[in-house]
Amino acid sequence: MGIFTCIYGISKFIGWLTTKGIHKKEKFNVAFIGRGGTGKTHLIKGIFGKEARIEEFEGCIKYEGSTYSNISAWEMPKFVHGNAVKYYEENQLVIFDLIIVVSQATLGTDEEKLLFEAKKQKLPVILVRSKCDNDDLENFKIVKNTFNVNQEAALKLVRHLTTKFEESLTFSQLSNIPTFFVSAVAFQKGVGNLQQHTYFQEREFLHCLKETAAKKFYYY
Ligand SMILES: Nc1nc2c(ncn2[C@@H]2O[C@H](COP(=O)(O)OP(=O)(O)OP(=O)(O)O)[C@@H](O)[C@H]2O)c(=O)[nH]1
Ligand SMILES: [Mg+2]
């Protein structure tokens, strides 16, 4: 590669960082990725609260709130096709500190490819399956809307989903990815009270998110 091509590449990259509003040093930048309708927006709003500041950059939406002030959450464009490598390149995902894949009801090949690509690029990755309050309500006796979660039933559901997810894995390398089953509704209802309520795995997920973010600032 010639020196000019190299300089051009670097300046383009820096320009991209600036226009995209990524503050690499001050913030822990988290990319939420998933197919359309998997619950990315509700999940982010649930975590950061309704008052979160929103900015849009080239089809990516950045959320910043006072709750986790050192974190910028990015809702990335919908993952619509099976080419995970191209998606990572097009969205420059390598510059993010953490990738959160928000999955469908069960893990599909597309989600596996997204996770696999993150691992290949050595990016920290978390898998989240949202909308758990919407699951099999009859069997698990979780009362929709009123959200009187029967805690025992909720944890039974989590165990059931964990088994189903593990069984669906094609790539065994993905089995050690931190996975959390959550509900955006639960975040909205009780983010401030998560010490008192367990619901699904919202508390564990938030703990993992905060710990991963804290490491970045600890090492700086
Ligand atoms: N019951 C329930 N419904 C949810 C939850 N999260 C999202 N939904 C519903 O699922 C639908 C899609 O949610 P969004 O948060 O808009 O999903 P998205 O991934 O941001 O969708 P796109 O931006 O279109 O890709 C909406 O109708 C939500 O009301 C949840 O935790 N529980
Ligand atoms: Mg959305």
Closest ligand 1 atom, residue 186 Cα? 31
91 CB near ligand 1 (under 6 Å): no
Q: Is residue 6 part of a domain?
A: no
41 touches ligand 1 (CB under 6 Å) = yes
Higher pLDDT, 101 or 105: 101
Nearest alpha carbon to residue 102 among 123, 72, 122, 132: 132
CB of 156 shorter than 6 A to ligand 1: no
> Which contacts (CB < 8 Å, 24+ apart) does range 200-205 have?
200/132, 200/133, 200/154, 200/157, 200/158, 201/158, 204/180, 205/126, 205/128, 205/180
Q: Which residues surround ligand 2, an ion (CB under 5 A)?
A: 40-41
pLDDT higher than threshold 80 for residue 141: no
- What per-residue confidence (pLDDT) applies to 81? 77
Number of the ligand 1 atom closest to the C-alpha atom of 183: 31
CATH code of residue 91: 3.40.50.300
Cβ of residue 201 lying under 6 Å from some atom of ligand 1: no
Answer yes or no: is pLDDT of 124 > 80. Answer: yes
Instruction: Round to whole Å and give the CA distance between 19 and 102.
Output: 25
Count of domains forming the chain? 1
Counting from 1 in the atom list of ligand 1, the atom nearest the Cα of 42 is 15
Is 84 part of a structural domain of the chain? yes
Query: How far is ligand 2, taken at its centre, from the CA of residue 75, in Å?
Result: 7
Strand partners, 129: 181
Closest by alpha carbon to 44, among 21, 22, 72, 24? 72
Residue 95, amino acid: I
Residue 14 located in a structural domain: no
**Closest C-alpha residue for ligand 1 atom 1:** 134
Q: Is residue 10 part of a domain?
A: no
Which pLDDT belongs to residue 117?
92
What tokens were used for 77? 């464009």
pLDDT band at 54 (very low <50, low <70, confident <90, very high): very high
Please state whether beta strands 179-181 and 125-129 pair in parallel, antiparallel, or not at all (unpaired): parallel
Mean per-residue pLDDT over the chain, rounded: 82
- Domain contains 192: yes
Identify whether 18 is part of a domain. Answer: no
Q: Among the residues of the chain, which ranges form H helices?
A: 3-19, 40-48, 84-90, 109-120, 137-140, 151-168, 184-190, 202-219
5 is a domain residue: no
The pTM is what? 0.87
Average pLDDT of span 188-210: 74
Name the least confident of 39-48, 164-173, 178-187, 206-215. Answer: 164-173
Compute, in angstroms, the gap from residue 37 CA to the centroid of ligand 1. 5
Domain with 121 in it: 27-219
